[in-house]
Amino acid sequence: MYVFPEGRYTDVRVEDVFQTDIVIENGVVRQNKVRNYQGALIRVFDGDKWYYAATTKLDDLQGEIDRLAAMTGSLPDIENEPAVRLLEVNRDTVLRYAADTVKAIGRPDKLALLQRYSDICAQVPEITICKAYYKDTYSVKHFLSSKGADVRFDFQSASATVRYNLTVADKQGRGGKDIVKTGFSALAGHEDEVRAEIEKDIAHTRDAVPVAPGRYTCVLAPVVTGVFAHESFGHKSEADFMIGDETMMKAWAIGSAVGAPDLNILDRGDTEGSGYVPFDDEGTRARCNYIIKNGQLTGRLHSAVTAASLGEMLTGNARAVSFEYEPIVRMTNTYIGGGSLSLDDLLAPIANGIYIEDLHHGSGMTTFTIAPHRAYMIRDGKIAEPVRISVISGNVMETLHKIDGFSRDEEFFSFALGGCGKMEQAPLRVSFGGPAIRVNDINVQ
């Protein structure tokens, strides 16, 4: 199909993207559009540097390859360069959603669905601003490499989301509900969930009091656990932070005890969710990667370059946020494994703690943070009064050892309007989840 230059490794990733975006604001349609485009990223590697070109001129991809090649040197034995040698040569087509795409659903149907959720908000006097968002994506990626890889795969997501501002007894609050599925039909019928969320937010806005800052035992609801896993350890497991760094390699040696004995953290792109990537953006097939198993470090997430540099195996985690960017090491579907307790069991031994039910955002470096949305005191083993918290934080290296309880029920989540940010690439679609967990000695402000 393309003439790849000698003495270099080359790959081409073409993306064909369909998206719908509808916004209803306080009952009035503000956006209603379809976006359909194609773009490509070309990579050429000469054994020393990588050269990338992002383009929408698909009729000139050969020209782009040639122009990039002209910038490079060459390495006669490029096939044996460690990263190139590691790259998989898959030939496959995985079109999981092609028979039931959101492209086939008319915009009037999508608008009508969103209107139903918007109308729920319109009936609530405490809601001063309501924005309802319908978004869908159907994309097909075609990856070809000079090693002979040729894979084509698709992804689909559809979501209906409400975001609202509240005024309750002169107090300001906000909230929302994300319904994220892999197909349009599954978005219907969640009205009661939206109503329940609004009721909780009204009560929290009305009754929450400022928290007394301090260190608490916290119980994290599954959605918070998921973000905690992503932020507290997921980013730490991305191996591009580690290459050429002996200190990091010693501190994060495979087999090290890095968490509580029952702690399991997994990342896998081969299951449905926003992080579904049957192949990553280097053509590597997705697999199940245990990052932590029974409290011990068992793996990390890789691109071909990082895997070659660290002498480890590919994991299928080289991902780009769009055709405009090169793949870097990213998470996919990341979650903490469940345990055997009920939520009541987790709460029972806590005399004075905090239950964090939902969150606004999180961040993760050595110190992880989570900005809670709805949080409640735990008093004598029971969920008690709502509290307002700016941020909770902890040291990753210490906090993973301070988890001492996991519920048996696991839940998985995707955010409809955001995703993961790393460097210049955001938001990347990922999913996350796990059970409710109990974590001791968390800094609460």
Per-residue DSSP letters for 306-369? HHHHHT----S-EE-SSTTS--EE---EEEEPP-SB-HHHHHTT-SEEEEE--EEEEEESSEEE
Residues of this chain, 396-435, that bind other proteins according to CB under 8 A: 397, 423-424
Stretch that binds other proteins, among 1-9, 23-31, 180-188, 349-357 (CB under 8 A): 23-31
Per CB under 8 A, the list member of 76, 106, 244, 255 interacting with other proteins is 244
234 binds other proteins (CB under 8 A): no
Specify the residue, 329 or 343, whose C-beta has the smaller distance to other proteins. Answer: 329
Among 3, 71, 196, 253, binds other proteins (CB under 8 A): 71
Tell me which of 94, 243, 310, 417 binds other proteins, using CB under 8 A.
Answer: 243
Please say which residue, 361 or 379, places its beta carbon nearer to other proteins: 361
Tokens of 211: 């928290």
Q: In a 3-state reduction of DSSP, which class is residue 303? A: coil
Pairing of β 150-168 and β 91-94: parallel
Residue 271 interacting with other proteins (CB under 8 A): no
Strands of 120-170, DSSP E: 127-145, 150-168
Give me the sign of the Cα torsion angle 286, 291, 297, 301: positive
Stretch touching other proteins by CB under 8 A, among 134-142, 284-292, 338-346, 391-399? 391-399
317-376: contacts with other proteins (CB under 8 A) = 324-326, 360-363, 365-371
Q: According to CB under 8 A, which residues from 137 to 166 bind other proteins?
A: 165-166
91 binds other proteins (CB under 8 A): no
**Between residue 275 and residue 314, which ones bind other proteins under the rule CB under 8 A?**
none
User: For residues 55 and 294, which CB has a smaller minimum distance to other proteins in the complex?
Assistant: 55
Q: How is residue 258 written in tokens?
A: 């890095």
Sheet bearing 411-413, strands edge to edge:
296-297, 288-293, 265-268, 333-336, 431-434, 411-413
Residue of 3, 6, 56, 125 that binds other proteins (CB under 8 A):
56
Nearer to other proteins, 175 or 337 (CB): 175
Q: Is 125 in the site for other proteins (CB under 8 A)?
A: no
The conformation of residue 301, written as its DSSP 8-state character, comes to B
Using the rule CB under 8 A, give the single segment among 5-13, 35-43, 345-353, 407-415 that binds other proteins.
Answer: 35-43
Report how far residue 72's alpha carbon sits from residue 75's, in angstroms, rounded to the nearest whole number: 10
Q: How far is the CB of 137 from other proteins (least distance, A)?
A: 14
Instruction: Output 346 or 428, the one with its CB closest to other proteins.
Output: 428
Largest CA distance in the chain: 73
Sign of CA dihedral 344, 347, 348, 349: positive
Whole-number minimum distance, CB 425 to other proteins, in Å? Answer: 10
Q: In 3D, which of 428, 437, 434, 427 has the Cα closest to residue 413?
A: 434
Residue 12, CA distances (Å) to 169, 175, 188 in order: 57, 42, 38
- Please tell me the distance from the alpha carbon of residue 400 to that of residue 338, in angstroms, as a whole number: 15
Q: Which of 62, 74, 115, 128 binds other proteins (CB under 8 A)?
A: 128
Could you tell me the two tokens for 138? 């159907």
When binding is defined by CB under 8 A, the residue of 169, 246, 311, 398 that contacts other proteins is 246
Interactions with other proteins, residue window 187-216 (CB under 8 A): 205, 210, 213
Figure out which of the listed residues 2, 7, 18, 54 binds other proteins, where binding follows CB under 8 A. Answer: 54
Which is nearer to other proteins, 141 or 236 (by Cβ)? 236
Q: Is 236 in the site for other proteins (CB under 8 A)?
A: yes
Give SS3 for 300: coil
In whole angstroms, the minimum distance from the beta carbon of 270 to other proteins comes to 26
DSSP for 185-254, written as a single string:
GGGSS-HHHHHHHHHHHHHHHHH-EE---EEEEEEE-HHHHHHHIIIIIIGGGBGGGTTT-HHHHHHT-T
Q: How far is the CB of 388 from other proteins (least distance, A)?
A: 5
CB of 252 to other proteins, least distance (A): 8
Count of chain residues binding other proteins (CB under 8 A): 75
389 binds other proteins (CB under 8 A): yes
